[in-house]
Chain A
C-alpha cells in the first residue's frame, strides 16, 4: 500500500473505532481483511484455469478450479476467524532508559475452542515474533518501542495481524490503547562521583550507624533483612527490626544543583547515574530537584521514585514519543 494511502486508511480506522480502554474483544466490526500478493496471484491462476477449462469444455477442470476457489473462500474465513473474538488486554510495561526499547506487554486470550495460529502484533516499526494462542489459552506478546529521550512514550496504535493458514489473505485488527510508559533519563556514561559528605545534610537525614544496639522498632518494607530480629519474631510472631546507634553520618541526597553538565538533560543523566549506582550498591539515598524532595530511603521503590521524578522533571513540550 502506498504510504499516503496507508496514512489515510489509518486515520479512517482511528476515526471509526475511537480510542480503546481496557480489554478489547476483536469483534467482526474491527477486523479488516484483504488478499495478499500471493492471494492475488492465486486469483489470477484460478482465472486462467477457469478460462482453460471453459475453452476445452472440461468439466473436471472446472471442478478443480471451483474446488480451489472454494478453498480460497474457506481460507479467507479461516483467516478472519483466526482473529475473531480474541481478547487483547494490556499486561504491563517496563520503563526503559532513553535510547533503549520500551516494552509493552499485550496479553491475547482465546475464549474459543480452536487454537489461533501465527498472530503477529506490531506497533509502529516494532513487531513481535508470531505467537499462537491455544484454545481457551493466553499468550503474551512483547512489543518493543524504541525511545530517544526521557519522558513519556505512548503506544497509541497496535496492529494484530495474521496470514494464517495459506498466506492468501491478511486479516488485521487495530487497537488504540493509549498506553503510556515512562522513559528514564539515560544514566550518564562518565559521571563524576556524587559529592561526598555534603556540608549540611539537610532535612536531618542521618545515616544510622551500625555499632551499638539501640532498641527494636517496627519493621518497614525496605529495612535491611539482616537487621530483622528473628529471635523476637520467633517469640512474638511480630517483625521487628534492630536499631543501632553509631556515629551519625549524613545520608546522601543527590541534588540537581550538585550535578555537573552543560544543560538540564545531561545533568539529569548524571543524577540518574548516581541513583542507579547507589541502588546497585544497596545504599540509601534521596533526591532533590527544584520543587521535588525525596527523603533518603533504600530499595527498589526508591529507585523507581527517583528515576520517575527525573524522567518527568520539567518535561519539554516535545518529549512525547
Chain B
C-alpha cells in the first residue's frame, strides 16, 4: 500500500518536473538532455522493480562529475545557460535519492525555478502557454506529498490545485499591476550567449540572403501619426566602415560624431524590439531623439545600448526623413571611409578609376555606377553563388548575381576607389503593415544593406544600389523583386486572404502581449496609476494602490471561500422532493404528515390524472436516491430537472 503511494507521488513529481524541463531540453547540450532523461527512466524502473538506489558516495561522485561536465561545456555555472544546465542535472540527481516527502519538495521547488528560467529565455505567449500548466502540475504534485490522510481519486490533486490557482489569480493580478518595478538591476544582467538569428555587426557576402529566408519578427513599430511611405522605411542598424576585401565590419575606435541638421516634419514612433543578443538598436533614418538613457549614438549615427539586448525591449524615437548629416567631414573620418584593403579587388579598383575619369563630377560618377548595375546583366536573387576571396571582383566581373549586400559592398568599394567617402549601412528596409493592430511588422526577411556616401554640402547621403537593380524591392517589398520561381517561406500564407488575416491577427496578439505584459514597466505602471486617479507616482501612491487592491482582492477571496463552504442541504434529493410537494400543495394537493411517498403519488394520480406520470417518476427517483445503497449517478440530476419542470 505504502509502495503504491510512493509510486504515485513519484509519478506526479516526475511528470511535473519533466514538464518543467521540457522547454530547456532544446537549448541544453545533448549530453545533458540525454543524461537527465536516462536518470529519470532509471529511477522509475528502480521504483517499479524495487532496485536499490545508489549510495551517498556514488551520488557525490556523480554530482562532482556532472558539475565538472557543465563547467567544461559552458565555461561557467553562473550564467543563465550554465545555471539552467546545472539545475536540470541536479534535479535528475536529486531524483536518485528521492524517498522522503522532503526530497519531493526539493524537486518541485527546482521545477518552479526551471519555470522561471524558461521565462528568462523567452517571454512569448507559447512559452507561457506551456509554463502555466506546468506550474499548476508542480503545485498539484505537492499535494500527494503533503497529504496524510486517504489518497483520494487519482486526478483530485489537479482539480483541487486548479481551483486554488483560480482563487489566487486576482491577488496575483493586483500584485503584478501595482508591485513597483525597478529602474535598474541589483547585479549584472545575464550574459547568455545565445545564437539568435538577426543582423550582426559584420557582413560577408550571402549573410543577408540567409536572413531573408527567416520570417521571424525583428521588431514592431507603432507610429504616432501616419507611417512613412515604403521608400522612406530605412531602419538604420550597424554602420560598417571597415573592409578586408571580403567582410565588412564596424571596426575603428570612437570618433567625434558630426552634427546633424534636421529638416521638415518629424516622425514619432515606438519600437518593440525582439531580443537580438547584440548592442545595436534600429531607428528610422535619421534619428533625432530616443527614450533617454536607453542608448548612445555612435559617430556613424548608429544607436547602441550598453548591454546586449537579451529580452524584448521597447523604446520611443523621433526621426526626420530629411536631414543634413555631417556636412563637415573631419580628416580622420574621411580616411576611415576611404580605406580599402591593400592589393584586393584590383579589377574593381581599375574599373572605378576608369569610370571616374569618364565622368564629369562625383554625382555623374554615382549615376554611372548605378546605371551600370541597372543596364548591364546584373541579377537580383536570393540564392547568389558563393564568391571568391576578392568578393567585389568576383561579383562585378564573374557571377553578377547578388543580393542587397553584394550590391552595397560593390558600390561602396567603387565609391571609395574613386575617392568618395562611403560606407555600408546594415538594417532593415520596409515592413508589413498590420491593419488589424495598426502597426508595422519588420521581419528578419526585411534585412537589407545599402550605402552611404559623403558629398560636399549635403553630408552623408543614402544611396541604395539595390534600388537600381530591383526598384520593386524598395517600393513593394522583397517578394515583388524576386524572380517568379524564387519563393519566400510563408508565401502561400500571404497568397491566401484567410491565412494572411489569421497571421496578422496572431501577430497583433503577440504585439499586445509584448506591449502590456512583457513590457509592463515603470512607465506604464505610472500611467496606469494616473488613469486610476493617483496624482503623484511616489512610493505612497504605490503603497495605497497595492494595499487597496490587495484588500479588495482578499475581500473577494474571503467572500468566495465563505460562499464555497456555506452549509448545504445534507440531502439534495429530499430538498427536491420537498419542492415538488410544495408545488402540489399550492394547487391544493397537500401531502399529509407521514404519508408515504408512493401513497402520495397514487393520490396525486387519482386527484390530478394529468400529473400522475410525472409524480410517479419523481417519486420513484426520489425513493431510489433515498434508499438504494448506490444510486445511479445521473438520477439526482434527472430528479432536479424533473422537479424544475414540474409545473402543476
> Do residues A112 and B190 form an inter-chain contact, with CB atoms below 8 A?
no
Taking CB atoms and an 8 Å cut-off, the chain A residues in 57-99 that contact chain B are 57-71, 73-75, 77-78, 81, 84-85
Contact A118 B147 (CB under 8 A): yes
For chain B, which range describes its interface: under 10, 10 to 19, 20 to 34, or 35 or more residues?
A: 35 or more
On whether the beta carbons of A130 and B148 are closer than 8 Å, the reply is yes
B108-133 contact mask (Cβ, 8 Å, vs A): 1 or 0: 01001101100110010001100100
Query: How many Å from the CB of B3 to the closest CB on chain A?
Result: 19
Q: In the bound complex, what is the Cα–Cα distance between A68 and B138 (angstroms)?
A: 11
Q: How far is the CB of B94 from chain A (nearest CB, A)?
A: 15
State whether B149 touches A111 (Cβ < 8 A). no
Residues of B within 8 A of A136 (CB): 567-568, 570
Q: Which of B538-594 contact A (CB under 8 A)?
A: 554, 557-558, 561, 564-568, 570
CB < 8 Å neighbour of A49 from B113, B131, B187: B113
Let me know if B565 and A56 touch, CB within 8 A. Answer: no
Residues of chain B with a CB closer than 8 A to A42's CB: 109
Q: Report A209 CB to chain B, min CB distance, Å.
A: 52
Q: Which of A70, A77, A117 has the most CB of B within 10 A?
A: A70
Does A312 reach chain B (CB closer than 8 Å)?
Answer: no
Q: Which of A6-14, A159-167, A199-207 contacts B (4 or more CB under 8 A)?
A: A159-167
Candidates B119, B149, B187; contact of A118 at CB < 8 Å: B149
Q: Are B143 and A135 in contact (CB under 8 A)?
A: no
In whole angstroms, how far apart are the Cα atoms of A45 and B119 in the complex? 16
Determine the distance from Cα of A165 to Cα of B120 in the docked complex, in whole angstroms.
30
Determine whether the beta carbon of A112 is less than 8 Å from that of B172.
no
A67 to B174, CA, bound (A): 10
Given contacts A66-B179, A120-B148, contact A61 B116 (CB under 8 A): yes
Inter-chain contact B149/A67, CB cutoff 8 Å:
no
What is the size, in residues, of chain A's interface with B at 8 Å between Cβ atoms?
52
- How far apart are the CA atoms of A130 and B135 in the complex, in Å? 28
Select one of B160, B168, B565 contacting A70, CB under 8 A. Answer: B168
Asked if B150 is at the interface of the complex by the 8 Å CB criterion, the answer is yes
Q: Is the CB of A77 within 8 A of B182?
A: no
A71 touches B164 (CB 8 A): yes
Bound together, the chains give a CA A196 to CA B554 distance in angstroms of 78
A131 beta carbon closer than 8 Å to chain B: yes
Chain A residues contacting B105 (CB-CB under 8 Å) are 38, 41
- In this complex, what residue of A is CB-closest to B173? A66
Q: Main SS of the interface on chain B?
A: helix
Most buried by A among B112, B146, B167, B517: B146
Q: In whole angstroms, what is the CA distance A112 to B160 when docked? A: 17
**A178 adjacent to chain B (CB < 8 Å):** no
Residues of A with C-beta under 8 A to B128: 60
Contact residue among A63, A113, A132 (Cβ-Cβ distance under 8 Å from B172)? A63
Expressed in whole angstroms, the minimum distance between the Cβ of B569 and any Cβ of chain A is: 8
Residues of B within 8 A of A165 (CB): 143, 146-147, 160, 164
> A131 to chain B: which residues have CB within 8 Å?
149
The distance from the CB of B235 to the nearest CB of chain A, in whole angstroms, is 25
A195 at the interface (CB under 8 A from B): no
Tell me if B501 is interfacial: C-beta within 8 Å of chain A. no
A54, A64, A68: which contacts B119 (Cβ < 8 A)?
A64
| Known contacts A56-B185, A57-B181, A130-B149; A113/B568 CB under 8 A | yes
Contact A56 B311 (CB under 8 A): yes
> CA–CA, A40 to B131, complex, Å?
24
A55 within 8 A of B: yes
Does B627 lie at the interface of the complex (its beta carbon under 8 Å from any beta carbon of A)? no
22 contacts between A and B (CB under 8 A): A42-B109, A51-B186, A54-B181, A56-B190, A57-B181, A58-B119, A59-B176, A64-B119, A66-B175, A66-B176, A67-B169, A70-B170, A71-B139, A71-B168, A74-B168, A77-B557, A78-B164, A84-B565, A113-B565, A130-B149, A165-B143, A167-B145
Q: Which residues of B contact A (CB under 8 A)?
A: 101, 105, 109, 112-113, 115-116, 119-120, 123, 127-128, 131, 135, 139, 142-143, 145-150, 160, 164-165, 167-172, 175-176, 179, 181-182, 185-187, 189-190, 311, 517-521, 554, 557-558, 561, 564-568, 570
Query: 5 additional contacts, CB 8 Å, given A59-B521, A69-B175, A112-B566?
Result: A53-B116, A57-B181, A61-B116, A68-B135, A135-B568
